[in-house]
Amino acid sequence: MHHMVSIDVPNLEQGIRFYCAAFGFEEIARPVESYAILARGDSRIGVIEKAPGSKPAKETQDVRRYDRHWTPVHIDFHVDNFEEVLSLAIEAGATCEERFDAGKHPPVAFCSDPFGNGFCLIGTKVNEA
Q: Read off the CATH number of the domain in which 92 is found.
A: 3.10.180.10
pLDDT grade for 2, boundaries at 50, 70 and 90: confident
62 assigned to some structural domain:
no
Q: What is the mean pLDDT of residues 82-94?
A: 97
Residue 56: inside a domain, yes or no? no
Instruction: Identify the domain containing residue 19 by its residue range.
Output: 5-51+72-123
Is the Cβ–Cβ distance between 50 and 9 less than 8 Å? Answer: yes
Whether residue 28 is contained in a domain is answered as yes
Domain membership flag for residue 83: yes
Whole-angstrom Cα Rg for the chain: 15
- pLDDT of 129 > 80? The answer is no
Give the total number of structural domains in the chain.
1
Note the Cα 23 to chain centre separation in Å: 9
**Average predicted confidence (pLDDT) for the chain:** 94
pLDDT at 128 over 50: no
Q: What's the rounded mean pLDDT across residues 3-15?
A: 96
Instruction: Give me the sign of the Cα torsion angle 11, 16, 107, 75.
Output: positive
pTM: 0.91
